[in-house]
Structure 1
Amino acid sequence: MSDLLTRPLLRRDEPSWGSRVPWFAAVLASGWVLVATLALGVLPAVAVWISDGADSALTDPLRFGARIWLVAHRIGLDVDGADFVFAPLGMTVVVMLLMYRSARWAAHQAGTATPRAIAAVIVPAVVVYGAGASLLATFATAGDVSSSPLTAGAVAAAWALAGFSLGVLHETGFDEVWLARLSPEVRAALAGGGVAIAGLVLVGAALTVAASVLNAGQIGMLADALDAGSLGTSVLAAGSAAVMPNVIVWAAGFSLGPGFAVGAETVVAPSGVELGMLPAVPVLGALPAEVPGTFAWLVLAGPVAVGVLAGLLVYRRLAQHQEPLSTMVLAAGGAGAAAAIGMSVLVTLSSGSIGAARLSQVGSVAWEVAAMTFLLVGVPATITATVLRWRSTRSSMIIGDPAHQDVGNRQ
């Protein structure tokens, strides 16, 4: 009974049918993710089409759903000559989770246990997903909206490579094996960077909640003005939830100082707010009209506290290995660098262009956020780890001092 409870759910020792045809398990997994993620965009579009009387051809909502699928993968669209490159990260996260889960299933069915077997699962899955994206881009192209099938296939294949690789490596246990081969200081730096990124996201989430509460009246007013009906309101709520992770990342950029833009020549930062004409989207009602003076810079305390926490984690991980002070400093600085790289990736994915001229720039600037992350997180992390290591060394020297021991013995 205890063995049953502790054994991993998806792993087994007996041969599985997929060990004979691992590519088939990969194709099934990849195809299922394609269909499931496409349904996320198609079903709401079809529901709205039906509620409007189904006057137009069924291909219209299907084509709109395909465009939503492309957008979720951050595949660019050309809308009447303007670029639309913006991924609702809520949908992107769902896509990656489905890839991860289906990849674990495929690896399990294929009995994957070697690097060659890993490639036999990942490669077919990536090829199928990329080919499916190219077909959807071709189908989505109509009227004044177009998308490059070649670009769509390449971008979707990159997402599939990341998602399916994570799932297969975790299911086979190779991720733990490769992680164990890293030196303790590298593992500590990666752990500190991961905690710092999570902390900054939490700071962004707290600011988003605070702004939503303070501007709840404006958000409700925008929602009432749209008068979208029950179904339209549900679709609008789902869309707002899909872009909420983007807003959280933008709020994290605000806490770091650079802020973010909601259109060309606009900025929302501790230094001030400049907003132009915005679309009547309820989620944008949380944007502040002004920042309360110099007190806005208090938000910088959040990233600094995150840096202190990262430095504490690095110290606790390396203290048991009795690593020297120089190694501790490098690991803490590495945690800051890892956090900076991770935040720049999140900012890049959360930002983009929504097509119209006044919304051609949306989100934060990646390099600015990366620089401030390294400054506000990496420096406090390094100082914290250094001080803790120095105190530990000093305490050890005092305890190990012969004169100190003689005094203790005489007492």
Structure 2
Amino acid sequence: MTQVTERGTPLPAAPRAGRRRRSPAAAACVMGGALAAGLGLGFLAVLVIVLWISSPYPDSGPGGALHLAAGLWLLAHGTELVRYETLSGVPAPVGVTPLLLVALPALLMRRAARLGIGSEEGDEEVLPGSAVFSAVLCGYLTVGALATVYAAGGPMPADPLSAAWHVPLVAVVAAAGGVWAARGRQLGPLPSWVPGGVRKAVARPRYALALRAGAGGALVLLGGGALLVGGSLAWHGAEAQASFLALTGVWSGRFAVLLLAVALIPNAMVWGAAYALGPGFALGAGASATPLGFSGSPSLPRFPLLAALPPEGPGTPLTWAAAGVPVVAGVAVGWFAVRRAREVSYGETALTAALGALVCGLAMAGLAAASAGPMGSGRLAEFGPVWWAVGAAAFAWTLPGVVVAVAVHAWRNRPVAVAADAWHDSGVRELRWEALRAAAGGLIPDISTPLPAPASAPPVAEPAPAAAPVRVLTVVPAVGPDLTVPPAAPPPLVPPVVGARVLARRKPSA
């Protein structure tokens, strides 16, 4: 019903409650995304300022340190930086991203998306997931664009084309993960615009098992890579210590080198996994390290993690033993691909294991691409593993997990023989019954001996039919106990007591 004023003009429609609440919620989501980017920038800015203050020979003012912090924040998203101050005068790109730094913006962005899903009033949803995703992404990318412009005036500016797709990529993945976690980590249903056949296929449990199997294989490869790097560092401990001490002589510089080495530990794990898979990694143009040998003559700077490299020359049985890591990864893929249910066929189990190997290959290819990049121009233009070779090797090594999965499936579904009770075994029951009968002293009859057959009664001659008519009598049972039931046996008599003496009862005295 339309409301009108006294003059007859209609009153304006009152805004809906949903609109009143969604507008502040959208603004809060935008501010949340901007705050997530600002927190990451602030953390790196504080760290760089502390190192700049503690440095005995600062080569720039606080403005240069803040520009460097903005560049490092962009590097944490995978953006390539450009270093202009080189000996040759040619700008050198720096594209190796410390993977541990990526965790900082990813976690902040994920938290902002999760907080945007629910309001503070009883966790009631104000915006749909797509709106929260778009709003948080808008705020984050706005700060990212400002940081790119600000870092352009520093000693290591960011490449605009690289920042244009690396920063949105990290933000999109982190925001999507936050919305998915706030929704309860649902694997379905997919949006309505996805074809129905695809929605039904993804809803099958084989894809969740394939993701679990692929993740298990990738984690085994990364763990094996960490083991190889740690063992090599322990083997070359003296060289690593010498390179660490030779870089700088002040504690602030050594602290910065230590932080950089810690941030590069995930990269070293991926490189170790690539080395165990076979393709290895490049150390510049024409130099590569594989289990079969270390070819080329790389010109590497002094750095503690680089001391873990194998010696130059052909491989040895010790380096060939690294192939055990992908073998264990293939076993892990096959183990995690087996379902507990017994109604699954062998073909379904084999298909799940094959999909798990594919997931493992894709995951390792993505990690290899993220951990590699140029460290300069010329001979250092190629640094790290080749992503497509690492992905193909991971798939090839883990594909035999299909055989492991089928074998585990057959073992879990094998027929199990149920052991019989010892009391019902042949002969045991009869022996125990005979022992009980002997201990009873003849009270229990011997059932092993068959009873004699009763003597056959003589045949009774049938009476001749009477000529007189037979009167039919109907017998009505009397009301009383059922006479067809045999009476119960009388209780046994108490035997007399021999030698008992009966005394007369005396009257009490008055």
Q: TM-score band (shorter)?
A: 0.7 to 0.9
Contact kept in structure 2, 1:134 and 1:149, CA below 8 Å: no
Residue in 2 that maps onto 1:297: 320
Structural mapping, 1:188-227, within 5 Å:
188-227=209-248
Aligned ranges 1:6-405 → 2 under 5 Å: 21-51=24-54, 52=56, 56-80=60-84, 81-109=91-119, 111=123, 113=125, 117-142=128-153, 145-149=156-160, 151-173=162-184, 175=186, 177-178=188-189, 182-274=203-295, 275-290=297-312, 293-315=316-338, 318-320=339-341, 322-379=343-400, 381-391=401-411, 395-396=414-415
Deviation at 1:296, TM superposition (A): 1.6
Q: Distance in 2 between matches of 1:228 and 1:35?
A: 34
What RMSD in Å do the two structures reach over aligned CA positions?
A: 2.9
Residue 263 of structure 1 deviates from its aligned partner by 1.8
Partner of 2:15: none
Greater relative contact order, per chain length (Cα 8 Å cut-off, separation 6+): 1
| Partners of 2:99 and 2:263 within 8 A in 1 | yes
Structure 2 counterpart of 1:12: none
Q: Write out per-residue CA displacement over residues 185-219 of structure 1, whole angstroms, 9 at most, x where no aligned residue.
A: 11111110011111111111111111111111111
Give SS of 1:322's match. coil
3-state secondary structure, aligned to 2:153: coil
- Does the C-alpha gap of structure 1 residues 322 and 289 become closer, same or farther in structure 2, counting only changes over 3 Å? same
Q: 8 Å contact 1:29–1:102 — kept in the other structure?
A: yes
Q: Which amino acid aligns with 1:98?
A: L
- Which residue identity is paired with 2:70? A
Compare 145-154 and 333-342 and name the one that shifted more: 145-154
TM-score with structure 2 length normalisation? 0.69
Deviation sequence 1:349-380 (CA, Å, 0-9, x none):
0011112322211111111111111111122x
What is the CA-CA distance between 1:285 and the residue it aligns to?
1.7
Compare 153-162 and 367-376 and name the one that shifted more: 153-162
> Is residue 34–residue 142 contact of structure 2 (8 Å, CA) maintained in 1?
no
Task: Give secondary structure in 1 for the equivalent of 2:399.
Answer: helix
Q: Residues 68 and 156 of structure 2 are in contact (CA less than 8 Å); yes or no, is this contact kept in structure 1?
A: no
Equivalent AA in structure 1 for residue 150 of structure 2: F
Number of equivalenced pairs:
383
Overall identity of the aligned pairs, in % = 25
Matched letter for residue 152 of structure 1: A
| CA displacement at 1:27 relative to structure 2 | 2.2
Question: In structure 1, how many angstroms separate the alpha carbons of the residues matched to 2:185 and 2:262?
Answer: 34
Taking the aligned partners of 2:289 and 2:375, their CA distance within structure 1 comes to: 18
After superposition, the Cα gap between the structure-2 partners of 1:309 and 1:366, relative to the gap in structure 1 and judged at 3 Å, is same
Structure 2 CA distance for partners of 1:399 and 1:294, relative to 1, 3 Å: same
Structure 2: runs of 5+ lacking an equivalent: 1-17, 85-90, 191-199, 419-423, 427-510
1:135 Cα offset (Å) = 1.6
Q: Distance in 2 between matches of 1:40 and 1:216?
A: 32
**TM-fit CA distance, 1:236:** 1.1
- SS of match in other structure, 1:258: coil
Given the superposition, is the C-alpha separation of residues 144 and 100 from structure 1 closer, same or farther in structure 2, using an over 3 Å criterion? closer
Question: Which amino acid counterpart does residue 88 of structure 1 have in structure 2?
Answer: P
CA distance in 2, matches of 1:244, 1:208: 9
Question: How far apart are the structure 2 equivalents of 1:321 and 1:112?
Answer: 41
> If you compute each CA radius of gyration, which structure gives the higher value, 1 or 2?
2
Moved more, 66-75 or 49-58: 49-58
**Paired AA for residue 239 in structure 1:** L
Unmatched 5+ stretches in structure 1: 1-14, 401-408
Partner of 2:467: none
Question: TM-score when scaled to structure 1?
Answer: 0.85
- Between 1:293-302 and 1:338-347, the stretch displaced more is 293-302
User: In the alignment, is the contact (CA less than 8 A) between 1:130 and 1:153 conserved in 2?
Assistant: no
For the residues of structure 2 that align with 1:230 and 1:134, how far apart are their CA atoms? 35
SS of the equivalent of 1:354 reads coil
Shift of 1:98: 2.1
**Cα deviation, residue 37, structure 1:** 1.5
Residues in 1 aligned to 2:328 and 2:185: alpha-carbon distance in whole angstroms: 34
Indicate if the aligned counterparts of 2:67 and 2:154 stay in contact, CA closer than 8 A. no
116-125 vs 186-195, which deviates more? 116-125
